[in-house]
Structure formats: C-alpha cells, structure tokens
Structure 1
C-alpha cells in the first residue's frame, strides 16, 4: 500500500514534470536552426538527454504513486510549457490558455483527491 501524498511528494512529481517540459524547450530551440546544423544537433541531443533523465526520474515516481495519480500530474506539463514559452520565447499568455491550464489543474486536483479517498476506503 502506498503512503499518503505529502507536499514533498507533490514537489518530487512536479520536478519530474518540469524536467519533461524542458524537452519541449530544447525541441523548440532545435526547430529554429537549419536541419542537421551543429546548433540543431546540439539542441536535438539536449532534448534526448532531458528525456533520458526524465525517464529515470519518472520510473522512480511511478514506484511512489498510483499510476492514475502520476499520469494526472503529468498533464501539468501544459502549465510548465506555457510558462517556458512566455519566459524564454516571449510568447503571449492568452485568457483561453489560462482557462485551459486551470481546467487541467482542477482535473489533477480531483484525481489526487479521489486517489486519497480510495486509499481511505481500502483501510
């Protein structure tokens, strides 16, 4: 049986999600250069490296969390990607993007709460 989800656990799984979202940054940076140029290869290689680190971290997270809870939190990649696009690429944040991310965050919260209720009912 898995333990109760605490703030440290949430920070750990979000760190995995942040790592995953950084792969989209590397992919975006690669796309701004000519195909097979050294900068393209550099950023494309960085993307693969980030995904490798993410795979290792993610394996540890799914040992700690129910799979449904882990995948629900993975949806927050949208929020992190929107943030990176704003900070790094100066792309705007529209009200509709915010509404979409808020809906995802609410869904994640509902999934996490339902996971806690299931644990309590199992006892």
Structure 2
C-alpha cells in the first residue's frame, strides 16, 4: 500500500472542517421560526455544505482507504466543541474532553489494528 500524502490529509481535514460548519448552520437555523427567511437561509447552507461534502468525500476515498478517511471524521467532534465555545458561548466541560479523547483513541486503535 502506498503511503498517504500529507496534502491528502490536509484535503481531508479541510473537508471535515467545512463539514463541521453544517452543524453550525443547523444550530443557527434552529434560532429562527420555521420557514422564515433566516431558517431557509441557514438550512439552505446546510444542504449546500452537505452536497459539497458528499462530492469531495468521493475524491478523498480515491486517495486513501475508507478506514483511514472515516476514522479521521472524529476531528469533527473537536470542531463541534470549538464552535460551541466560540460561537454559542458553551462551556467546555471535562466530560466533553474525555469523551472526545475516548472516541478518537478508539478509532485510532481500530484503524491501526494489524489484525
């Protein structure tokens, strides 16, 4: 198997960064009345982000194995914590940090398993 290039990992993580913004837009849309202009705008952004993500995800899978690409999706948890703190004034709790670490460590163990 060929080694995965750094630019491919950067592409993957850039894509996951963009994907994490769909959750931000969803939460923003929840602050508006159903079918109001703000609601439609933010949910429209969610749909655009998800379409772009779906198309570019196919490019990621051309460059690396599914197990590696999918395991790296755990970084979205970290982005969710960051967006919650920066944009929504949420408090970082120890359980959030521990949970993120456990999930990422578990996925790392699955991906690096030689069996």
1:26 and 1:44 in contact (8 A); partners too:
yes
Equivalent residue of 1:8, what SS?
helix
Equivalent residue of 1:21, what SS?
helix
Aligned twin of 1:121: none
Shift of 1:111: 4.0
Aligned twin of 1:13: 12
1:31-73, Cα deviation, whole Å (9 max, x unpaired): 0000000010000101101111111111110111111111111
**TM-score, normalised with respect to structure 1:** 0.83
Shift of 1:75: 2.4
1:76 and 1:104 in contact (8 A); partners too:
no
CA RMSD of aligned residues (A): 1.7
Equivalent residue of 2:22, what SS?
helix
1:17 and 1:74 in contact (8 A); partners too:
yes
Equivalent residue of 1:4, what SS?
coil
Equivalent residue of 1:76, what SS?
helix
Q: Which runs of 5+ in 1 are unaligned?
A: 119-123
Shift of 1:9: 2.5
Q: Which runs of 5+ in 2 are unaligned?
A: none
1:1-123 correspondence to structure 2 within 5 Å:
1=1, 3-114=2-113
2:16 and 2:73 in contact (8 A); partners too:
yes
**TM-score, normalised with respect to structure 2:** 0.88
2:61 and 2:69 in contact (8 A); partners too:
yes
- How many residues are paired up? 115
